Amino acid sequence: MNRQSGAGRPAVLAIAIGDPVRAAEWRDAFAAAAPDLAVLPADEADPAAVDFLLLWRAPPGTAARFPRLKAVLSLGAGVDAILADPAIPAGLPVIRMVDEALTQGMSEYVLWQVLRYHRREPELAAAQRGRRWAPVAAPLAGERCVGIMGLGELGAAAACRLAACGFRVKGWSRSAREVAGIATFHGPAQLAAFLAGVEILVCLLPLTPETAGVLSAPLFAALPRGAFLVNAARGEHLVEADLLAALASGQIAGATLDAFRAEPLPPDHPFWSHPAIIVTPHIASLTRPASGARSLVAEMRRILAGDAPLHAASRDRGY
């Protein structure tokens, strides 16, 4: 593979990741995936020699320090924080992480949480805490309707995994999408039809100005009373006060939350102690360096060969 960046020198990748342990793991992964790729910490690289920048939880303006970038690479599937940086040049490609391991991890998380509510695990756990023998019956999967908001790589895969288990699955996205075996809806005009009958709602939407705050009182009111919520996307999708009110009224029976407006979630936050909320610490699907590096090396190969990357984010859409 030709990884020459010009002037006969190897391409240079700088890594700007806030966690030094994770940064070291990614350096090792890229070294294994592309031995002739020069990989350096961003603060040790010559800015004028850097061709690609792996970016995650770095201060705004980081990319602007490197004047010859061919692309910015995201460590995660979401690129909202990167695109929000006004210092990133408008024409510079921002590459989303699309990786089979990341997709599988998210599908497993969604299936885990949906099965938790489908088989009424919160009621069984409460009975155990109270030392009560309280058998509960769950419907069959085909009698349960699950809705997936967001039908990108992660959402479509999760929807198919649930459908393979027998659930009736509906999907909603910003623009029209077709997923085999899934009833799909799109756009604001079809949101109410999508929500009707959804007993377990899973949010996997990208974060954009249009989707911020979408998990709010009007949406909760459109669900059947006693529905459940799983948010494995971004904390900014959720209006926290509206969820607490919906839980208090019984409109929402329970919620699993993996992403939050403030992370780590502050110790005094009411979500920690709420009996109907399950908190997971943003671990729905973690990018694995070995497979993630191979995916990004393939994208860098395309760019260096003069081809368009496969997974560039759209500035207009915001993802």
**Distance from C-alpha of 72 to C-alpha of 92, rounded to nearest angstrom:** 7
Percent of the chain residues past pLDDT 90, beyond the cut: 91
In the beta sheet, which residues pair with residue 73? 54, 95
pTM, whole model, 2 decimals? 0.93
Residues 262-272 have pLDDT tens digits of: 999 999 999 99
13-17, 22-26, 76-80, 283-287: which range is least confident on average?
76-80
d(CA 36, CA 39): 9
- pLDDT per position as a tens digit, 11-42: 999 999 988 999 999 999 999 999 999 999 99
Q: How far is CA 168 from the centre of its chain?
A: 23
In a 10 Å sphere around its CB, with 0-12 CB exposed, 13-18 middle and 19+ buried, how is residue 67 labelled? exposed
28: left (phi over 0), alpha (psi -120 to 50) or beta: alpha
Q: Residue 148 has which token pair?
A: 């997936």
The C-alpha atoms of residue 250 and residue 225 are separated, in whole angstroms, by: 7
List the catalytic residue out of 65, 186, 274, 282. 282
Mean pLDDT of 53-61: 92
Is 234 noted as a catalytic residue in this protein? yes
Does residue 116 have an active-site annotation? Answer: no
Domains belonging to the chain, first-starting first, are: 4-99+287-304 (3.40.50.720), 100-279 (3.40.50.720)
- Which one is catalytic: 234, 237, 294, 311? 234
pLDDT tens digits, one per residue of 82-105:
999 998 988 899 999 999 999 999
At CA 24, angle to CA 21 and CA 30, rounded to 5?
A: 145
